[in-house]
Amino acid sequence: MKRMLVTGSSGLIGSEVCSYFHAQGWAIHGVDNNSRATFFGPSGDTRWNQQRLQAELKHFRHHELDIRNRAGALALIGELKPDVIVHTAAQPSHDLAAKIPFDDFDTNAVGTLNLLEAARLSAPATVFVHMSTNKVYGDAPNELPLVEQAKRWDYASPGDFDGITEHMRIDQSKHSLFGASKVAADVIVQEYGRYFGLKSCCLRGGCLTGPNHSGVELHGFLSYLIKCNLEGKQYNIYGYKGKQVRDNIQT
Ligand SMILES: NC(=O)c1ccc[n+]([C@@H]2O[C@H](COP(=O)([O-])OP(=O)(O)OC[C@H]3O[C@@H](n4cnc5c(N)ncnc54)[C@H](O)[C@@H]3O)[C@@H](O)[C@H]2O)c1
């Protein structure tokens, strides 16, 4: 069986990657240490999703590893020599990053470097897929012209309908500390491809959602909105006259 290592396997995107490729016949090795609960408290806890994968997927194995653990990452990747690494483990919140700048950068930037270097040293044939974000463009996308509709804002130019072009600048833009740590990761993933020849790529998603998100106020808004609705909690809306700006993508 082909082997895939998925970091952040108990999270929204990682768990969907595990299920999807397991169904295609891959053996899946998940890496997650439930940092989401440390970041966001008990409502961010992802153990339920880890246990779901362990119960549902016959060829899934969980590895309790912190990607900041450089030696641990090297040992695991050296042992598994995966055909593909899909890297989705991260501190994912813009607002939280400002409160925990070292944890944010150590996880998003240094954690990514740990995995890349481990792959280069011990599994150089691996394909390294990095879950980046449109936040690498900072607030530059906010300059794209919008048209106000009754309940939402749409892009004014048809050229923007399919997403933000990769030609958008990343300089002269405010990123949040989260965006900055993700830029560092994104650029270094590209560099391991161009400089070292590792087969790497960055996917710059935005506003992903799905039933397997452990939604909290600071991350995973749609999941959190439904939670508030079910639990009768107040939901606060910020900016843009309370109207939706971006589409959400189901994982
Ligand atoms: N959800 C979105 O809308 C969205 C949009 C664009 C990009 N992304 C990116 O996709 C990736 C995954 O996002 P998500 O929404 O699935 O987040 P998530 O928080 O649901 O999943 C991330 C997982 O990584 C784990 N993790 C965090 N730090 C770790 C560490 N040090 N060691 C091991 N595991 C660790 C967490 O416990 C969590 O289970 C992130 O890189 C995020 O920036 C997400």
Digitized pLDDT (tens) for each residue of the chain, 251 residues in all: 999 999 999 999 999 999 999 999 999 999 999 999 999 999 999 999 999 999 999 999 999 999 999 999 999 999 999 999 999 999 999 999 999 999 999 999 999 999 999 999 999 999 999 999 999 999 999 999 999 999 999 999 999 988 889 999 999 999 999 999 999 999 999 999 999 999 999 999 999 999 898 888 888 888 888 989 999 999 988 888 999 888 889 98
Contact 181, 112 (CB under 8 A): no
The answer to whether 138 and 175 have CB atoms below 8 angstroms apart is yes
**What pLDDT, in 10s, does the model give residues 5-26?**
999 999 999 999 999 999 999 9
Alpha carbon separation from 188 to 15, 42, 47, 65 (Å, rounded)? 24, 32, 30, 22
Does residue 205 line the site of ligand 1, with CB under 6 A?
Answer: yes
CA 3 to each of CA 19, 85, 96, 142: distance values in angstroms, whole numbers, following the listed order:
13, 9, 34, 40
Please name which of 89, 96, 35, 37 lies closest in space to residue 219, comparing C-alpha atoms.
96
Q: How far is the CA of 99 from the centre of ligand 1 (A)?
A: 17
Interatomic CA distance for residues 233 and 223, integer angstroms: 13
| Alpha helices, DSSP H, located in 64-220 | 70-80, 94-97, 101-105, 111-122, 176-194
Q: Is 34 in the pocket of ligand 1 (CB under 6 A)?
A: yes
Please indicate whether residue 112, judged by its CB atom, sits closer than 6 Å to ligand 1.
no
Using DSSP's 3-state secondary structure scheme, residue 94 falls into helix
Q: Which of 48, 52, 104, 131 to mutate to test the pocket of ligand 1 (most atoms within 8 A of CB)?
A: 131
The residue whose CA is least distant from atom 42 of ligand 1 is 92
Cβ(119) to ligand 1 under 6 A?
no
| Residue 9 near residue 3, CB atoms below 8 Å | no
- pLDDT score recorded for residue 222: 87
Q: For ligand 1, what atom is nearest to the CA of residue 13?
A: 16
Rounded distance from Cα 148 to ligand 1 centre (Å): 32
- Across the strands, what pairs with 68? none
Q: Which of 35, 39, 107, 209 to mutate to test the pocket of ligand 1 (most atoms within 8 A of CB)?
A: 35
Residue whose CA lies nearest to ligand 1 atom number 20: 11
- What is the pairing mode between strands 199-205 and 127-133? parallel
Among 135, 204, 208, the mutation site with the greatest number of ligand 1 atoms within 8 A of its Cβ is: 208
Query: pTM (2 decimals)?
Result: 0.96
